[in-house]
A and B are shown apart, each in its own frame.
Chain A
Amino acid sequence: MKAYFFSECAYPYLPAEYDSIRVKLPNRIYDPEKGARLFNDYIDEWVAADELGLDLMLNEHHQTATCMNSAVPLTAAILARVTKRGRILILGNPIANRREPVRVAEEMSIIDGISHGRLDAGFVRGVPYEISAMNSRPVDMQERFWEAFDLIIKAWSSHDGPFYWEGKYFRHRQVNIWPRPLQQPYPPVWITSTSPEGALKVAERGHVVATFLTGFDATRPVFDSYRRRRTELGQETPLDRLAYAALVYTADTDAKAVAVGEKLLWYLNSNRVPMQFVNPPGYHSTATVMKILKGDGPFAAFGRSTTADQELKKGVLFAGTPDSVYKQIKALYDHVGGFGNLLMMGQAGFVTPDETIKGLELFAREVYPRIKEL
């Protein structure tokens, strides 16, 4: 198993009361001086993770204090230059919301080149609360995602001069990107999915499927769906095709680790989002919307505060001594039928740079050698 250190670049200094952390939280709350310091801390943490032998993951969100990283190719390009050996996973480029997929293909090519082929290029549909921030139509997003995706792959793979593309969503007459990626034919591709249906198309193309904070209950159906589809197609599913993202913290005692784990839960507990941004029209399936309208459904617990105990039980948080963390990861690993990539959110909220790096050091020294064998 490979382990990626992930930081969402939180801006944690929130007012006591706010209606929504997404879309409409006024940016006067953002202190540019504090933001500048945080950004540099976060880059230092990725550099430290790289030096510890971990791989690196970054992502992108918009108009939210949960994530300052609103243009992930920029930070990934910095890491391409200032880190030395780790993979740089962008998970992901929100290509159902980006206006110019060809531009995304170019950005990824630059990062792949500067990093000497260390880019893992991830693509996401984007969470529902990105819709308003990007003025992106929530209806038929999957269709737009896949057209953008196909265009990017073609831009990376075409080397004989311009090609033509007149699709439903994107139109170009002369596509011929410079530079092209270093990795051939193109960087490894990752796609997120938190549902069994979503995993099917990823399986058909053989890319890595990543699922986020889905725990014991919801991870297995996604991975099973992927593996089943591969089997139907007469293909294997190596473990490196499957990735799971959790909150992770390692310390020399369980109590210390869980205390920092509680601080990581800022990511979940501060994520207050009004229903109009959680359930934009046409984003979710009819069945899901019906549940939401009745007050049930996947967002019923949204914004309710949770605890380290609850999240440890769910398999969303791994926190403890190296031995505990290993056992927690192994338990989930066994439950879901195995996976080859652990995406570790090791910084969130008010977890300090010192705490973050200490946790990573202990993980790298005591846990990583053991899970590498899985």
Chain B
Amino acid sequence: MGGMTLEKLDVRGVELQLSRTGRGRPLLLLDSGFSFEHDLAARLAQRFQVIAPLHPGFGGSPRPDHIDTVDDLAYLYLDLLKQLELSDVAIVGCSMGGWVAAELAVRCSDRLSRLILVDSLGIKVSDRETPDIADMFAIYEEELMGLLFRDPPRFKIDARALPEQALANIAKNRAALALYLWEPYAHNPKLLGRLGRIDIPTLVVWGQNDGLVSPEYGRKFAAAIPGSAFETIPECGHLPQVERPDRLIEYITPFAADGRTR
């Protein structure tokens, strides 16, 4: 999320780096963990008070030893909402951030009003011999790009052209992603059974061409959350905030504002 000014907050002893921009209903934006630039926070800040933390370990931010699982992140952000005395919060979580958002919502939705999951990871729906989520750590970079994007060449990162700091962040982001996702791979075996606890209006949005985790998985995710809506974005892969931010905003804005689907 380039260009945003980061502030540092001490959240129950954890240094959390985050950006806060815009006015209106609070919106907690939990990012994907992938190192592709996007401006979703700035776009959403036109309508909302956007709180966008860096998950500890990402973007060069510090990570204390005791923060090393997705449920640690869920509790950290619950603590953050309490500390900032926020209520009526809309949460938007993309990919790994969606998993965090879902874990947060099944724990406590007291401060929440809307949940929006975008190509979210986090659940296991198929049998034991069928992967739900492609093994992103065991394939060629080009293959991964093909799974992540409808139009991969547009998003190819030229490592040699990057400043040192950006390159270092990519290296650290990869390690942080592996830390949080490695085992069980990108899911919590218990989460599917807990999704029924979610008692706020929920929208699940999916890139129609997501090759990492399919729209069919997204439908099952939505089906497990009472009363949720499911939408797909055409011509779009796993990261709509990167590939089709204009279309993603069209879904997020009315739903986060007043619970309307398009």
> Knowing A275-B140, A276-B138 touch, does A139 contact B179 (C-beta < 8 A)?
yes
Decide yes or no whether B108 CB sits under 8 A from chain A.
Answer: no
Complex: how many Å from CA A132 to CA B168?
Answer: 24
Complex: how many Å from CA A293 to CA B173?
Answer: 13
Q: How far is the CB of B212 from chain A (nearest CB, A)?
A: 15
> Knowing A282-B174, A289-B174 touch, does A132 contact B183 (C-beta < 8 A)?
no
Q: How far is the CB of B230 from chain A (nearest CB, A)?
A: 31
Complex interface: stretch among B12-20, B36-44, B159-167: B159-167
Per a CB cutoff under 8 Å, which of A137, A139, A280, A290 touches B171? Answer: A290
Instruction: Decide if A139 touches B172 in the complex (CB within 8 Å).
Output: no
How would residues 155 to 198 of chain B score, 1 for a CB under 8 Å from any chain A CB and 0 otherwise? 00001100010011011101111110011000000000000000
Instruction: Decide if A137 touches B140 in the complex (CB within 8 Å).
Output: no
Decide yes or no whether A294 CB sits under 8 A from chain B.
Answer: yes
Instruction: Decide if A293 touches B139 in the complex (CB within 8 Å).
Output: no
Q: How far is the CB of A329 from chain B (nearest CB, A)?
A: 38
Complex: how many Å from CA A282 to CA B171?
Answer: 8
Decide yes or no whether B141 CB sits under 8 A from chain A.
Answer: yes
Instruction: Decide if A139 touches B175 in the complex (CB within 8 Å).
Output: yes
Complex: how many Å from CA A118 to CA B68?
Answer: 41
Residues of B110-143 whose CB lies within 8 A of A: 137-141
Per a CB cutoff under 8 Å, which of A139, A280, A290 touches B168? Answer: A290
Decide yes or no whether A281 CB sits under 8 A from chain B.
Answer: yes
Instruction: Decide if A282 touches B179 in the complex (CB within 8 Å).
Output: yes
Instruction: Decide if A293 touches B138 in the complex (CB within 8 Å).
Output: no
Complex: how many Å from CA A132 to CA B137?
Answer: 8
Q: How far is the CB of B132 from chain A (nearest CB, A)?
A: 16
Residues of A282-325 whose CB lies within 8 A of B: 282, 286, 289-290, 293-295
Q: Tell me which residues across on chain B come within 8 A of A276, comparing CB atoms.
A: 137-141
Complex: how many Å from CA A294 to CA B163?
Answer: 11
Chain A interface main SS type = loop
Per a CB cutoff under 8 Å, which of B164, B176, B179, B183 touches A290? Answer: B164
Q: Tell me which residues across on chain A come within 8 A of B178, comparing CB atoms.
A: 137-139, 280-282
Q: Tell me which residues across on chain B come within 8 A of A295, comparing CB atoms.
A: 159-160
Per a CB cutoff under 8 Å, which of A23, A139, A140, A286 touches B138? Answer: A23
> Knowing A286-B168, A294-B160, A295-B160 touch, does A281 contact B174 (C-beta < 8 A)?
yes
> Knowing A23-B138, A132-B138, A276-B140 touch, does A281 contact B160 (C-beta < 8 A)?
no
Instruction: Tell me the nearest residue of chain A to B143, going by C-beta.
Output: A276
How would residues 27 to 50 of chain B score, 1 for a CB under 8 Å from any chain A CB and 0 otherwise? 000000000000000000000000
Decide yes or no whether A277 CB sits under 8 A from chain B.
Answer: yes
Complex: how many Å from CA A282 to CA B139?
Answer: 16
Complex: how many Å from CA A282 to CA B175?
Answer: 4
Instruction: Decide if A135 touches B183 in the complex (CB within 8 Å).
Output: yes
Instruction: Decide if B141 touches A275 in the complex (CB within 8 Å).
Output: yes
Q: How far is the CB of A297 from chain B (nearest CB, A)?
A: 11
Instruction: Decide if A137 touches B182 in the complex (CB within 8 Å).
Output: yes
Instruction: Decide if B139 touches A281 in the complex (CB within 8 Å).
Output: no
How would residues 16 to 49 of chain A score, 1 for a CB under 8 Å from any chain B CB and 0 otherwise? 0000000110000000000000000000000000
> Knowing A139-B175, A286-B168 touch, does A293 contact B140 (C-beta < 8 A)?
no
Complex: how many Å from CA A24 to CA B137?
Answer: 13
> Knowing A138-B178, A139-B182, A282-B178 touch, does A289 contact B171 (C-beta < 8 A)?
yes
Per a CB cutoff under 8 Å, which of A275, A281, A290 touches B175? Answer: A281
Q: Tell me which residues across on chain B come within 8 A of A293, comparing CB atoms.
A: 159, 167, 170-171
How would residues 131 to 145 of chain A score, 1 for a CB under 8 Å from any chain B CB and 0 otherwise? 010010111100000
Q: How far is the CB of B89 from chain A (nearest CB, A)?
A: 31
Q: Tell me which residues across on chain A come within 8 A of B172, comparing CB atoms.
A: 286
Q: Tell me which residues across on chain A come within 8 A of B170, comparing CB atoms.
A: 293
Decide yes or no whether A206 CB sits under 8 A from chain B.
Answer: no
Q: How far is the CB of A62 from chain B (nearest CB, A)?
A: 14
Per a CB cutoff under 8 Å, which of A274, A286, A294 touches B159? Answer: A294
Per a CB cutoff under 8 Å, which of A274, A280, A286, A289 touches B140? Answer: A274
Q: How far is the CB of A359 from chain B (nearest CB, A)?
A: 38
Complex: how many Å from CA A135 to CA B185?
Answer: 10
| Sample of 12 more A-B contacts, CB < 8 Å, known A137-B183, A281-B177 | A275-B141, A276-B141, A281-B174, A282-B175, A282-B176, A286-B171, A289-B175, A293-B159, A293-B167, A293-B170, A294-B167, A295-B160
Which A residues form the contact surface with B (CB < 8 A)? Answer: 23-24, 132, 135, 137-140, 274-277, 280-282, 286, 289-290, 293-295
> Can you give 30 contacting A-B residue pairs, CB < 8 Å?
A23-B138, A132-B137, A135-B183, A137-B183, A138-B182, A139-B178, A139-B179, A140-B179, A274-B140, A275-B140, A276-B137, A276-B138, A276-B139, A276-B140, A276-B141, A277-B138, A281-B137, A282-B174, A282-B176, A282-B178, A282-B179, A286-B171, A286-B172, A289-B171, A289-B175, A290-B164, A290-B167, A290-B168, A293-B167, A295-B160
Pairs of residues from A and B, 8 with the lowest C-beta to C-beta distance, nearest first: A282-B175, A281-B178, A289-B171, A281-B174, A293-B159, A137-B182, A139-B179, A286-B171
Which B residues form the contact surface with A (CB < 8 A)? Answer: 68, 137-141, 159-160, 164, 167-168, 170-172, 174-179, 182-183
